[in-house]
Amino acid sequence: MSHHFEIYKDKAGEFRVRFKYNAEVMFSTEGYSSKASAQNAIDSIKKNGPGAEVVDNS
């Protein structure tokens, strides 16, 4: 599996999502109090991400 979402619990006990590509973390989310909220974040990224605009602030 070269890329995937991963739900994990951080040291504070919150659920977070990270996206990995070839074992490298590309991004991670804020902490969520429930696993269901973390899964909702994944679903939102999958739904809204493909059409997202790219903003170049360089």
As a whole number of angstroms, the distance between CA 24 and CA 5 comes to: 11
What is the structure's pLDDT at 58? 97
Q: Residue 32: what pLDDT?
A: 98
Q: For the whole model, what pTM was predicted?
A: 0.85
**pLDDT score at 19:** 96
For residue 20, give every residue at least 6 positions away whose Cβ sits within 8 Å of its Cβ, in sequence order, or none.
3, 4, 5, 6, 26
What are 22-26's contacts with CB under 8 Å, separation 24+? none
User: What domains, with CATH codes, occur in the chain?
Assistant: 3-48 (3.30.160.160)
pLDDT one-digit tens code per residue, 12-53:
999 999 999 998 999 999 999 999 999 999 999 999 999 999
For residue 26, the model assigns a pLDDT of: 96
pLDDT-derived band of residue 1, with 50, 70 and 90 as boundaries?
Answer: low
> How far apart (Å, rounded) are the C-alpha atoms in residues 50 and 33?
27
Measured distance between the N- and C-terminal CA atoms of the chain, rounded to whole angstroms: 33
